[in-house]
């Protein structure tokens, strides 16, 4: 099965959902068990090795967004998030985008940027000497990773910039490193540290910080999709564009608008074991790249009057190394996605962010978001009260009419059916 548009996925039992996912992603018995175990994926012993002073582990809900078609391929998208409505919203956005062919997405190759701060040197002559020695610097950096070198990846370029600070000018040397399918923070830091004695020798200066930049502007992911005006309504298309203009021109709205985008991106990041703080930090800097913090997405109309959404931001992600390799649920989620490269994962994440943003601003520019939230909450309570799928709608409807949404009321109404 390769069609991700599964009707009424939310009404299915956990077993039915898992069966669908197992077939879709060809999961093994072992992978299925990993999802079925309710232990959050890692034992205390593992947690204790991952961080300091561990006292336990902490689980969050893992769900699946349906209907995603990205670059012609169907995806079921695992999302880890505590907030209700987000997975429903992503699935809804993907379903509408699908009508016009789904998302088109691209991601740059994974070039990581490492920075070395060089002090106490004559900057002009230091820059000249560094550039003359760039081959030697690159070779030294690459001697730290046989794996990347064998794949013809690794450090590729050395560049220099001068920054002016209140305490004087500084030379910043940057290494551009192709980290392949890894997020690459460790190898970037290792390479920066390994070349710094050489930089000191070349420049006669002193190196201070040697660290990856999380502003991963050489790892930009982009997605675009067309949303059918017949499905949305022409007035709503116009209102969504007005909602976008509000976000693009007012920082107070832009932060919330972009938060909605990150609801999608970070939920996939969590499910696949990415460094979500790195992604957030880069996205926020990118939103400010014009000098004003703006919307990360753009919403316009095409010549047929359909709504066109696009989203672009830096996404530093990996499918090898890091927690993606340690956490069995993260590994299984990568298997569910069926992505074979970091770039493909970035394409899925950027499309999820766009789907999320579409649903949020569509709801906001029509009925508001509370109604949908309440409906979902009522649905969850009706299910928790033990209602069968065919009974849920009646109970939900009644609770909404009465404006009394609680587990006790759901149970009472179920008794009355």
Residues annotated as catalytic (active site), given as ranges: 83, 259, 275, 373
Q: Which stretch binds ligand MEV (CB under 6 A): 73-81, 310-318, 357-365, 381-389?
A: 357-365
Smallest distance from ligand MEV to CB 243, Å? 8
User: CB 90 → ligand MEV: shortest distance, Å?
Assistant: 12
| Complex with ligand MEV: residue 183 or 247, whichever CB lies closer | 247
Whether 63 and 268 have beta carbons less than 8 Å apart is answered as no
| Contact between 371 and ligand MEV per CB under 6 A | no
* String of contacts with ligand MEV for each residue 237-256, x by CB under 6 A: -------------------x
Q: Least distance in Å: CB of 246 to ligand MEV? A: 10
Q: Of 70 and 360, which CB lies nearer to ligand MEV in the complex structure?
A: 360
Name which of 140 and 369 has its Cβ closer to ligand MEV: 369
How many CA atoms are closer than 13 Å to the CA of 208, on its beta-carbon side? 8
**Which residue, among 410, 415, 390, has the nearest Cα to 400 in the 3D structure?**
410
259 makes contact with ligand MEV (CB under 6 A):
yes
Contact region for ligand MEV (CB under 6 A) — 169-177, 289-297, 324-332, 360-368?
360-368
Among 346, 360, 382, 410, binds ligand MEV (CB under 6 A): 360
| Shortest distance (Å) from residue 355 CB to ligand MEV | 13
Is there a contact between 66 and 48 (Cβ–Cβ < 8 Å)? Answer: no
Among 102, 114, 184, 260, binds ligand MEV (CB under 6 A): 260
Q: Tokens in use for 117?
A: 């701060």
When the beta carbons of 215 and 227 are compared against ligand MEV, the nearer one is 227
Q: Under the criterion CB under 6 A, does residue 369 sit at the interface with ligand MEV? A: yes
Nearest to 113 by CA among 197, 198, 204, 220: 220
Distance CA 174, CA 166 (A): 22
Q: Which region, judged by CB under 6 A, interacts with ligand MEV, from 117-125, 259-267, 274-282, 374-382? A: 259-267
DSSP-assigned letters across all residues of 185-205: HHHHHHHHHHHHHHHHHHHSS
User: Of 210, 88, 208, nearest to 144 (Cα)?
Assistant: 210
Residue with the closest Cβ to ligand MEV? 260
Contacts of residue 66, defined as CB under 8 A and 6 or more positions apart, other chains included, come to 4, 5, 6, 9, 76, 77, 91, 94, 95
Beta bridge partners of 308: 226, 300
Q: Which is nearer to ligand MEV, 126 or 261 (CB)?
A: 261
Closer of 32 and 364 to ligand MEV (Cβ): 364
**Residue 272 beta carbon to ligand MEV: minimum distance, rounded to whole angstroms:** 20
Give the number of residues written for the chain: 417
361 in contact with ligand MEV (CB under 6 A) = yes
Q: Based on CB atoms, which residue is closest to ligand MEV, 224 or 263?
A: 263
Q: Classify 395 as helix, strand or coil.
A: helix
What is d(CA 61, CA 40) in angstroms, rounded to the nearest whole number?
A: 9
Dist. CA 324–CA 393, nearest whole Å: 39
% helix, strand, coil for the chain, step of 5: 50, 20, 30
- How far apart (Å, rounded) are the C-alpha atoms in residues 130 and 199? 7
Q: Which two tokens stand for residue 193?
A: 């540290």
User: Applying CB under 6 A, does 257 fall inside the site for ligand MEV?
Assistant: yes
Interacting residue ranges for ligand MEV, rule: CB under 6 A: 83, 256-257, 259-260, 263, 360-361, 364, 369
């Amino acid at each position: 099965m390769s069609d991700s548009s599964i009707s009424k996925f939310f009404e299915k039992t956990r077993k039915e959902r898992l069966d669908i996912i197992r077939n879709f992603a060809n999961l093994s018995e072992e992978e299925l068990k990993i999802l079925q175990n309710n232990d959050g994926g890692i034992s205390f012993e593992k947690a204790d090795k991952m961080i300091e002073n561990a006292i336990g582990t902490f689980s969050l809900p893992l769900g699946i967004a349906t209907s995603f078609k990205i670059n012609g391929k169907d995806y079921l998208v695992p999302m880890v998030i505590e907030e209700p409505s987000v997975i429903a919203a992503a699935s809804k956005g993907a379903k509408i985008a699908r009508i016009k062919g789904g998302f088109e997405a691209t991601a740059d190759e994974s070039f990581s940027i490492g920075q070395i701060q060089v002090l106490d040197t004559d900057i002009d002559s230091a820059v000249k000497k560094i550039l003359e020695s760039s081959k030697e610097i690159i070779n030294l950096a690459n001697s730290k990773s046989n794996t990347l070198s064998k794949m013809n990846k690794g450090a590729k370029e050395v560049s220099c910039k001068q920054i002016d600070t209140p305490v004087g000018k500084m030379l910043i040397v940057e290494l551009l490193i192709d980290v392949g399918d890894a997020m690459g923070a460790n190898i970037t830091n290792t390479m920066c540290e390994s070349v710094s004695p050489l930089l000191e020798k070349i420049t006669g200066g002193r190196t201070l910080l040697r660290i990856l930049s999380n502003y991963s502007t050489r790892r930009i992911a982009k997605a675009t999709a067309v949303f059918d005006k017949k499905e949305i309504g022409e007035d709503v298309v116009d209102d969504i564009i007005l909602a976008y203009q509000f976000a693009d021109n007012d920082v107070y709205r832009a932060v919330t608008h972009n938060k909605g985008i990150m609801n999608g991106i970070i939920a996939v990041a969590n499910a696949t074991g990415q460094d979500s703080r790195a992604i957030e930090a880069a996205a926020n800097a990118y939103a400010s790249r014009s000098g004003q913090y703006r919307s990360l997405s753009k919403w316009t109309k095409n010549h047929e009057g359909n709504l066109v959404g696009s989203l672009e931001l830096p996404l530093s992600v990996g499918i090898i190394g890091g927690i993606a390799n340690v956490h069995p649920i993260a590994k299984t989620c990568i298997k569910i996605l069926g992505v074979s490269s970091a770039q493909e994962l970035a394409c899925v994440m950027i499309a999820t962010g766009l789907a999320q943003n579409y649903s949020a601003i569509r709801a906001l520019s029509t009925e508001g978001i509370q109604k949908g939230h309440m409906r979902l909450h009522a649905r969850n309570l009706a299910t928790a009260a033990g209602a069968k799928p065919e009974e849920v709608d009646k109970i939900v409807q009644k609770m909404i009419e009465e404006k009394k949404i609680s587990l006790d009321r759901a149970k009472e109404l179920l008794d009355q059916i």
